[in-house]
């Protein structure tokens, strides 16, 4: 089902107007981004109009010829009513009051805004009044949260408007005098009150009748904590649903499905920054760092003052140890908006990379002050505490991350690591198991678990071997697993298996052009092994390879070669000894 | 993070504390204030003081009382001046009209505190000592208020308003809740119900734990739906309280499932909450899973919302889940608790002096985890974890934890059937365990116990010392003491257990009662006393006995107060109770039925209420078993019914086990072998499939299987089962069980007519009994031995009789019905087969015994033996020529034989 670009464009255009009329600014912002993301109709625009869009490389794509130039069409089916501008039923005086309320709202004077609209009965006014009231409550709640912070982290600050809002909205809903925006707000209120089932129902109703409100979709997404819930939702088909599904899949760690959705959407919204950032996020989860870096560079070129998702970019840069680039990024976001959790996180990352862990912790703390539920900051702070050898603090930080999102495998892994550091490898195993449960295809986790089993306190080598085998199957790029497998088998006296793994390891090192002590070790073992098993050709090959290296192994190889020749010529050394000349 | 930077014992001013301050102003008016002194007598004044003290200490809830409750209580305390007190309180509150008034109020509060050094005090002025409990309270309030920012003062002020009008606010909230429920009637109700139902089912599953197959989904669904409707109806009647509210579900809270917190509620002080949580933990242990786990869960949820940094909640949740057998949730919460608190929050056993080190106390986590695995029946995991706990405790030299861990480990090793520890413990390098790597399991247990005892002794951990003594007694009871290092044939060894040392250890364990105060947690004792005092206030109020004079009422509360002040902490009485149970067990083994019964009765009467439910269950179990053995099945089944009502809800209830045992025994006696076999199989099915877990149960099951086979005359199969059982017992070092298995083998050979083969088994059993001092079992083995001798031929009758007479005192004094009957019949048999014995001259000797035997067997409904006795009787009568009596015996004989041959018929008749 390919939606025509033109109809999308028209729908979004109308929606932006309606959304910003209702002061749903972030939804309007999102819609605007997608609107500009649609490939433009070349006939209507001169190149100068497109300067905001994309780098030169993309411009060529923008004017692709295969686009069917469609006439503006009314949107299909159910959305038709909502796509057309809403009826202006309000009287002039209402409109005047509405303008005033809206201005107050825009100046963040929410209570004033809602007061102005106190007697207005039109849907639009009711929504704005309730929404303003809700935001006023939220604002007060945030303030109270700081004021009330007690000894036990008492966080019972609540939005005091919720009860009255719920009462009013539910009354409206009962009488049917509620529009889709009201339903959205009602869903939000219900969610805040912890009534998730009803909230979901209300939000679904809202997005089904008015699909362009991204806020509603994202609230709905936060309520879809499992694939079962997602599948149970009764959503009408609309292209906005694809956005929703893509982002939900991502949260549910179904990265490939999510990527497929985004790819499809990119067919329409070819230049959407949002889609690009989300794709990068998914790719990041699949550990395609190079690709992600390129995407973010591209993104920053087009949208240089973007702060959203930039913490992810900083993670990539951190992983690639690109100090300079990271500092550049940090500087840039710092100038843009220093009191964003993302900015603090980026700066924290930078200090961490520089080894200044105390400073890094300070910035992560700041990020958390700005957003208590900022998952990655908790985890990253845990890492810093591990570096600072403050295990209890690290464990605490990781645990908080896990309690915010129990699927965060990094935090589980961190917990395991921290406990292993305190000398409790057996206890740590549980956490490693947890982390592997959420990310079974990561060789690093398997290797960490194997190392745990290998510690002298536990010393369960069979289990370690199993883990290393899994790591090998998960494409262990660092090659630790093969080497360890060989060594473990050697230790357990299973020379045949050891030889197999040493050979594999050797193969891997050859293909990657690596050298080093591991290589020598493998060669020496293989040479001796094959000699004792009388496979002289192989043994000779390995011996000669050892001769390429310097060091004490050379002598060993030489003596091995001598021994091989002796045995090959039919005068085994043993016999020589038996008949001394 | 937050847990580490938090200042300990932070304190906040709340409206309730302001009330207490106002009352304190009355209690100790300052010199400047010109209030009339309202108290008529000193005792009245003291009573108010006592009340205020209790208010600051009691730990009966997590929330501070509301103004309403306070006023109600004041009515109780104030006696004739209650109106005055309440008036003053409300007036004072209404005079606080602006934040500035609050500021002035607290400035005034300073006046009631006397300065520490002031010598010149007016005579008639009552001065609050600043370092007294109440003085401290005032000082902390003042300090906390001074620390408040202006916003804080504003918050306090607005919450004061809510406090004064709390009842109306609460009504609003509940109304609102109702509306939200009603309005979704049509569209969402069904879905809502479904969700609720699945939730409840989950809950039921968790709660019922071990018997999930009893749950039928549709029924549960129906029930839940019904329940929901009921609650809705109730709500519409304006009733905000759920019906099943236990005393635990905090009575002051509003609707249970509302996640929004009632604003008029404030948490008590940290100290009080900890005390409350501790009491809850005790309650969970005492009542086991019969306590509604969801009600605990709901208050924990509330507490967590209000105090997310109070990590003790997670621990309590762990305990709750542990007792409702929810392994995953228990594990999850245990780990969470230790992740957050680093093992430093709320643990009594960590002496405060050592404080919170930088490293945290994760070894305690390991200890708890190990015990959890133990409880869930994962012995190997538990052993691994405990080994790690030992290692970590040693590394950071936490001797307290080490002592506990060693005790837990020895407990594990002695309870679980672990054949050899080398594969588990061999890998560890910890000094304690590795020195013992070549030792057997029992020796290891012994060493661990000794080590633990030594450490506990030096650390003055009284309770641990006591329970270690008990463990030691158990060990001494079951094991022959041998020198640890000098093995070999030359070492002079007395192969006997030592009852004296068992007795000594038990007594040492019970010594705890004399010095329990040394290691008591003052927090709970203090707090619980206060809450008891407060509760007593309400007692006469709830009873319609107002005619009592105030004087007598006072004295009664006074006595109760005294009574409670000498009450022992629950954990102590639990250990002492355990010592009585152990005493009972040891008497049981040593073979003194009356002593065993007496100890059990002492336990059941004195400690039945305070101890953990599993212990109480055990006591009931012992008493019922005693009834079955000595009084017959009728009484036993009647008693079982009572016990079932009480304990069947427990997880891992032993009552079911007992029931199966009794039914099996009963079926065997009545000759209903099919039923016996079925019971036997069910018994085996109760045991866990894991190696080494539930050893006792497994041994019991196969012992019974062998006996069933024996009764079915499948001798070779019975012998096979018994042999393999013997091997198992040997492998897992179950010495006492070995003795009974040997006896069973002798019995099998006797029945199969192979007396010669049976003899060595009987002798071996006797020697086992001797070395373990199992006197009763020895008597019964002697009886079997005598029977075997007689089986070799009538020329051995004399020897057999001698043997029997040697064992007679024991058998008649302590034996159960069956054993005694057997002995009587055998005695008669001996006489009859003795060629020198003439029936006509000495008939009474024989007849008396036989009559005794048949009477006792009637009680037991043991058809086979009864028939035998009656047969003999008839023969004797026949010889004597007393035909009438002969006929009577013969008809009875016939009745028993038919009953034996058609057990099903009788079954039907009974039904």
Structure confidence by residue, pLDDT tens digits, A296-324 = 998 888 888 888 888 889 999 998 888 89
Chain B neighbors of A193, CB-CB under 8 A: 259-260
| Residue of chain B whose alpha carbon sits nearest to that of A396 | B340
Chain A neighbors of B267, CB-CB under 8 A: 152, 154
| Residue of chain A whose alpha carbon sits nearest to that of B151 | A147
The whole-angstrom separation of Cα B21 and Cα B691 is 62
Query: Which residue, B536, B541, B543, B538, is CA-closest to B561?
Result: B536
Structure tokens at A86: 């809403």
The whole-angstrom separation of Cα B465 and Cα B626 is 31
The yes-or-no verdict on residue A255 having pLDDT over 80 is yes
Of A261 and B239, more confident:
A261
Residue A7 makes CB contacts below 8 A (sequence gap 6+) with A70, A72, A73, A75, A76
Q: Do B388 and A158 touch (CB under 8 A)?
A: no
CA-atom Rg of chain B in angstroms: 34
The whole-number pLDDT of residue B296 equals 80
- Rounded to the nearest 10 degrees, the angle between the axes of helix B270-287 and helix B312-323 is 10
Backbone phi, psi, residue B892, to 5°:
-60, -40
Chain B interface includes A414 (CB < 8 A): no
Write a three-state SS string for A31-55. Answer: HHHHHHHCCCCCCCCCHHHHCCCCC
Q: A156 and B305 in contact (C-beta within 8 Å)?
A: yes
Q: B295 and B249 in contact (C-beta within 8 Å)?
A: yes
What's the average model confidence in pLDDT over A323-345?
Answer: 90
The whole-angstrom separation of Cα A345 and Cα A376 is 8
- DSSP 3-state of B113: strand
The whole-number pLDDT of residue B481 equals 63
Chain A neighbors of B192, CB-CB under 8 A: 197-198
Query: Which residue, B428, B282, B324, is CA-closest to B366?
Result: B428
Which of A272-281, A540-549, B472-481 has the lowest average pLDDT? B472-481
Size (chain B), residues: 911
How far is A167 from chain B, CA to nearest CA, in Å? 7
The whole-number pLDDT of residue A63 equals 40
Tokens 């100038």 appear where?
A335
The whole-number pLDDT of residue B486 equals 46
Q: A306 and A337 in contact (C-beta within 8 Å)?
A: no
Chain B neighbors of A399, CB-CB under 8 A: 336, 339-340
* Run of H or E residues at B291: none
The whole-number pLDDT of residue A120 equals 80
Q: Do A166 and B180 touch (CB under 8 A)?
A: yes
The whole-angstrom separation of Cα B752 and Cα B759 is 13
The whole-angstrom separation of Cα B27 and Cα B41 is 13
What's the average model confidence in pLDDT over A349-374?
Answer: 90
Structure tokens at B303: 């507490």
Q: A478 and A468 in contact (C-beta within 8 Å)?
A: no
Of B6 and A4, more confident:
A4
Q: Could you tell me how far CA B149 lies from the centroid of its own chain?
A: 49
As to burial, measured by CB atoms within 10 angstroms (0-12 exposed, 13-18 middle, 19+ buried), residue A80 is exposed
Q: Do B10 and A390 touch (CB under 8 A)?
A: no
Backbone phi, psi, residue B63, to 5°:
-105, 150
- Rounded to the nearest 10 degrees, the angle between the axes of helix B150-164 and helix A123-147 is 110
Of residues A144, A171, A426, nearest to B385 (C-beta):
A426
Q: A419 and A428 in contact (C-beta within 8 Å)?
A: yes
CA–CA distances in Å: residue A281 to residues A253, A377, B196: 11, 16, 36
Q: Do A424 and B307 touch (CB under 8 A)?
A: no
Write a three-state SS string for A209-268. Answer: HCCCCHHHHHHHHHCCCCHHHHHHCCCCCCHHHHHHHHHHHHHCCCHHHHHHHHHHHHCC
Residue from B339, B342, B358, B365 to probe the interface with A (highest A Cβ count within 10 Å): B339
Which of A82-86, A253-257, B521-525, B690-694 has the lowest average pLDDT? A82-86
Task: Say how many C-beta atoms besides its own lie within 10 A of residue B139's C-beta.
Answer: 16
Residue B580 makes CB contacts below 8 A (sequence gap 6+) with B599, B600, B602, B603, B606, B607
The yes-or-no verdict on residue A570 having pLDDT over 70 is no
| Residue of chain A whose alpha carbon sits nearest to that of B306 | A154
DSSP 8-state symbol, A154 = -
Mean pLDDT by 10 residues, chain B (911 residues): 41 82 78 61 76 78 77 73 78 82 83 62 64 82 84 82 64 44 44 46 39 34 35 34 35 37 64 77 72 76 76 84 84 86 55 47 85 85 85 83 85 71 44 50 79 83 83 80 50 64 80 60 59 62 38 42 52 80 86 86 80 81 87 86 77 80 87 87 82 81 90 89 89 83 91 87 89 87 90 84 88 87 87 78 81 83 85 86 86 85 60 42
Q: Do A393 and B261 touch (CB under 8 A)?
A: no
Of residues B187, B339, B392, nearest to A396 (C-beta):
B339
The whole-angstrom separation of Cα A332 and Cα A315 is 16
Structure tokens at A296: 């973010």
Chain B interface includes A140 (CB < 8 A): no
The yes-or-no verdict on residue A507 having pLDDT over 80 is yes
Long-range contacts of A526-532 (CB under 8 A, 24+ apart): A526/A499, A526/A502, A527/A557, A527/A560, A528/A560, A529/A495, A529/A498, A529/A499, A529/A502, A530/A499, A531/A560, A531/A563, A531/A564
- DSSP 3-state of A1: coil
Q: Do A424 and B366 touch (CB under 8 A)?
A: yes
Half-sphere exposure of A64 (CA within 13 A, CB side): 13
The whole-angstrom separation of Cα B820 and Cα A3 is 95
- DSSP 3-state of A189: helix
Put simply, the chain A residues between 450 and 489 with a CB less than 8 A from any chain B CB are: 456-460
The whole-number pLDDT of residue B190 equals 46
Vertex B374: Cα angle to B369 and B375 (nearest 5): 100
Backbone phi, psi, residue A455, to 5°:
-55, 150
* String of DSSP letters for B457-522: HHHT-HHHHHHHHHHHHHHHHHS----SS--SSSS----S--HHHHHHHHHHHHGGGGGGGGG--H
Q: Do A152 and B307 touch (CB under 8 A)?
A: yes
The whole-angstrom separation of Cα B138 and Cα B17 is 9
| Residue of chain A whose alpha carbon sits nearest to that of B4 | A393
| Residue of chain A whose alpha carbon sits nearest to that of B267 | A154
Tell me: ipTM over 0.85.
no
Query: Which residue, B270, B265, B262, is CA-closest to B67?
Result: B265
The whole-number pLDDT of residue A381 equals 92
The whole-angstrom separation of Cα B806 and Cα B22 is 81
């Amino acid at each position: 089902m390919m939606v025509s670009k033109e109809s999308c464009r028209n729908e979004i255009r109308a929606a932006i107007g309606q959304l910003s009329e209702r002061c749903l600014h972030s939804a309007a912002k999102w819609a605007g981004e997608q609107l500009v993301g649609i490939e433009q109709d070349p006939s209507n625009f001169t190149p100068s109009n497109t300067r905001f869009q994309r780098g030169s490389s993309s411009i060529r794509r923008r004017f692709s010829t295969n686009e069917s130039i469609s006439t503006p069409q009314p949107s299909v089916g159910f959305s038709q009513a909502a796509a057309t501008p809403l009826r202006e039923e309000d009287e002039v005086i209402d409109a005047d009051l509405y303008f005033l309320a809206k201005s107050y709202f825009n100046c963040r004077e929410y209570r004033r805004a809602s007061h102005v609209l106190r007697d207005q009965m039109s849907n639009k006014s009711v929504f704005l009044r309730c929404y303003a009231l809700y935001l006023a409550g939220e604002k007060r709640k945030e303030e109270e949260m700081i004021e009330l912070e007690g000894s036990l982290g008492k966080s019972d600050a609540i939005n005091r408007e919720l009860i009255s809002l719920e009462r009013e909205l539910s009354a409206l809903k009962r009488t049917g005098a509620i529009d889709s925006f009201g339903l959205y707000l009602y869903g939000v209120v219900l969610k805040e009150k912890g009534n998730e089932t009803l909230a979901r129902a209300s939000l679904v109703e809202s997005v089904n009748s008015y699909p362009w409100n991204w806020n509603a979709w994202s609230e709905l997404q936060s309520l879809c904590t499992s694939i079962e819930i997602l599948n149970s939702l009764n959503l009408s088909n609309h292209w906005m649903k694809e956005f929703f599904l893509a982002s939900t899949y991502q949260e549910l760690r179904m990265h490939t499905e999510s990527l497929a959705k985004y790819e499809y959407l990119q067919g329409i919204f070819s230049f959407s920054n949002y889609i690009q950032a989300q794709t990068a996020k998914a790719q990041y989860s699949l550990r395609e760092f190079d690709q992600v870096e390129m995407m973010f560079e591209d993104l920053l070129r087009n949208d240089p003052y973007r702060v959203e998702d930039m913490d992810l970019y900083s993670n990539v840069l951190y992983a690639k140890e690109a100090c300079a680039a990271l500092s550049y990024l940090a500087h840039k976001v710092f100038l843009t908006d220093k009191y964003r959790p993302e900015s603090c996180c980026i700066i924290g990352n930078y200090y961490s990379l520089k080894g200044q862990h105390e400073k890094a912790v300070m910035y992560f703390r700041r990020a958390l002050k700005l957003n208590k539920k900022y998952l990655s900051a908790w985890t990253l702070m845990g890492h810093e505490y591990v570096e600072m050898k403050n295990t209890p603090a690290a464990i605490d930080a990781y645990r908080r991350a896990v309690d915010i999102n129990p699927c965060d495998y990094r935090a589980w892994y961190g917990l395991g690591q921290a406990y292993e550091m305190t000398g409790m490898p057996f206890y740590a195993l549980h956490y490693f198991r947890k982390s592997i449960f959420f990310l079974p295809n990561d060789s690093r986790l398997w290797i960490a678990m194997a190392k745990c089993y290998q510690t002298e306190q536990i010393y369960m080598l069979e289990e370690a071997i199993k883990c290393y085998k899994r790591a090998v199957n998960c494409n262990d790029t660092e090659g630790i697993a093969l080497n360890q497998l060989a060594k473990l088998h050697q230790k357990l006296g299973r020379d045949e298996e050891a030889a197999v793994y040493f050979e594999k390891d050797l193969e891997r090192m050859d293909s990657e052009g690596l050298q080093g002590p591991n290589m020598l070790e493998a060669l020496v073992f293989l040479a001796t092994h094959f000699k004792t098993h009388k496979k002289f050709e192989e043994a000779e090959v390995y011996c000669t390879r050892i001769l390429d290296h310097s060091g004490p192994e050379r002598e060993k190889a030489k003596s091995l070669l001598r021994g091989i020749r002796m045995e090959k010529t039919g005068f085994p050394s043993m016999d020589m000894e038996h008949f001394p000349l | 993070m937050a847990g580490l930077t938090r200042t300990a014992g932070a304190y906040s001013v709340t409206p309730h504390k302001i009330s207490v301050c106002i009352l304190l102003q009355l209690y100790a008016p300052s010199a400047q204030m010109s209030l009339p002194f309202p108290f008529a007598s000193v005792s009245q004044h003291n009573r108010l003081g006592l009340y205020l003290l209790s208010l600051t200490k009691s730990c009966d809830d997590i929330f501070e009382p509301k103004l309403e409750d306070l006023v109600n209580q004041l009515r109780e305390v104030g006696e004739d001046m209650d109106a005055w007190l309440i008036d003053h309180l409300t007036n004072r509150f209404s005079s606080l009209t602006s934040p500035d008034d609050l500021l002035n109020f607290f400035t005034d509060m300073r006046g009631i505190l006397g300065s520490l050094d002031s010598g010149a005090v007016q005579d008639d002025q009552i001065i609050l000592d600043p370092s007294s409990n109440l003085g401290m309270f005032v000082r902390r309030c003042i300090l906390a208020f001074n620390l408040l920012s202006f916003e804080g003062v504003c918050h306090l002020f607005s919450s004061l308003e809510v406090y004064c009008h709390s009842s109306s606010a609460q009504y609003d909230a509940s109304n609102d809740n109702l509306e939200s429920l009603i309005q979704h009637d049509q569209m969402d109700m069904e879905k809502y119900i479904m969700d609720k139902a699945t939730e409840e089912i989950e809950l039921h599953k968790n709660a019922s734990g071990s018997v999930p197959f009893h749950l039928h989904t549709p029924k549960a669904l129906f029930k839940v739906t019904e329940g929901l409707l009921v609650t809705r109806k109730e709500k519409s009647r304006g009733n905000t309280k759920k019906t099943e509210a236990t005393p635990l579900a905090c009575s002051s809270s509003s609707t249970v499932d509302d996640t929004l917190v009632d604003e008029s509620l404030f948490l008590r002080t940290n100290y009080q909450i900890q005390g409350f949580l501790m009491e809850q933990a005790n309650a969970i242990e005492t009542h086991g899973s019969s306590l509604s786990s969801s009600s605990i869960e709901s208050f924990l949820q509330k507490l967590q919302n209000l105090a997310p940094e109070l990590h003790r909640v997670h621990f309590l949740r762990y305990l709750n889940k542990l007792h409702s057998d929810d392994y995953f949730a228990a594990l999850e919460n245990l780990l969470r608790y230790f992740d957050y608190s680093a093992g430093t929050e709320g643990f009594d056993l960590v002496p405060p002096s050592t404080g919170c080190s930088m490293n945290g106390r994760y070894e305690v986590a390991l200890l708890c985890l190990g015990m959890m695995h133990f409880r869930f029946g994962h012995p190997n995991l538990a052993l691994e974890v405990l080994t790690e706990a030992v290692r970590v405790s040693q590394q950071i030299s936490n001797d307290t934890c080490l002592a506990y861990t060693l005790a837990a480990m020895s407990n594990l090793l002695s309870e679980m059937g672990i054949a050899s520890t080398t594969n588990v413990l061999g890998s560890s390098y910890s000094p304690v365990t590795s020195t013992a790597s070549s030792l057997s399991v029992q020796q290891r247990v012994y060493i661990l116990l000794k080590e633990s005892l030594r450490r506990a002794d030096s650390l003055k951990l009284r309770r641990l010392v006591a329970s270690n003594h008990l463990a030691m007694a158990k060990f001494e009871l079951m094991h022959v003491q041998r020198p640890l290092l000098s093995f070999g044939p030359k070492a002079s060894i007395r192969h006997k257990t030592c009852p004296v040392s068992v007795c000594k250890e038990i007594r040492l364990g019970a010594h705890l009662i004399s010095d329990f105060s040394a290691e008591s947690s003052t927090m709970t004792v203090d707090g619980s006393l206060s809450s008891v005092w407060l509760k007593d206030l309400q007692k006469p109020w709830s009873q319609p006995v107002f005619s009592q004079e105030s004087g007598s009422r006072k004295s009664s509360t006074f006595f109760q107060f005294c009574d409670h002040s000498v009450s022992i902490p629950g954990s102590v009485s639990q250990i002492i109770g355990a010592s009585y149970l152990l005493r009972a067990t040891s008497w049981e083994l040593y073979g003194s039925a009356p002593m065993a019964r007496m100890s059990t009765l002492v336990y059941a009467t004195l400690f039945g209420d305070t101890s953990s439910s599993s212990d109480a269950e055990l006591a009931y179990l012992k008493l019922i078993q005693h009834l079955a053995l000595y009084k017959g099945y009728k009484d036993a089944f009647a008693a079982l019914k009572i016990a079932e009502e009480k304990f069947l809800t427990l997880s891992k209830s032993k009552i079911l086990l007992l029931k199966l045992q009794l039914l099996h025994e009963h079926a065997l006696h009545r000759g209903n072998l099919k039923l016996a076999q079925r019971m036997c199989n069910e018994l085996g099915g109760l045991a866990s499939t894991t190696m080494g877990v539930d050893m006792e149960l497994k041994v019991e099951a196969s012992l019974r299987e062998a006996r069933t086979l024996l009764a079915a005359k499948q001798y070779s199969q019975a012998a096979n089962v018994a042999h393999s059982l013997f091997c198992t017992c040997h492998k897992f070092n179950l010495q006492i069980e070995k003795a009974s298995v040997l006896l069973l083998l002798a019995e099998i050979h006797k029945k199969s007519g192979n007396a010669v083969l049976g003899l060595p088994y009987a002798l071996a059993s006797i020697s086992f009994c001797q070395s373990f001092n199992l006197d009763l079992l020895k008597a019964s083995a002697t009886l079997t031995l005598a029977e075997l001798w007689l089986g070799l031929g009538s020329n051995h009758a004399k020897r057999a009789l001698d043997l029997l007479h040697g064992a007679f005192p024991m058998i008649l004094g302590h034996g159960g019905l069956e054993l005694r009957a057997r002995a009587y019949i055998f005695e008669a048999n001996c006489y009859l087969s003795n060629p020198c014995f003439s029936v006509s001259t000495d008939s009474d000797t024989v007849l008396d015994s036989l009559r005794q035997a048949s009477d006792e067997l009637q009680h037991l409904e043991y058809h086979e033996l009864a028939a035998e006795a009656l047969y003999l009787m008839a023969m004797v009568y026949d010889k004597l020529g007393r035909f009438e009596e002969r006929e009577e015996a013969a008809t009875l004989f016939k009745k028993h034989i038919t009953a034996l041959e058609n057990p099903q018929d009788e079954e039907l008749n009974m039904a």
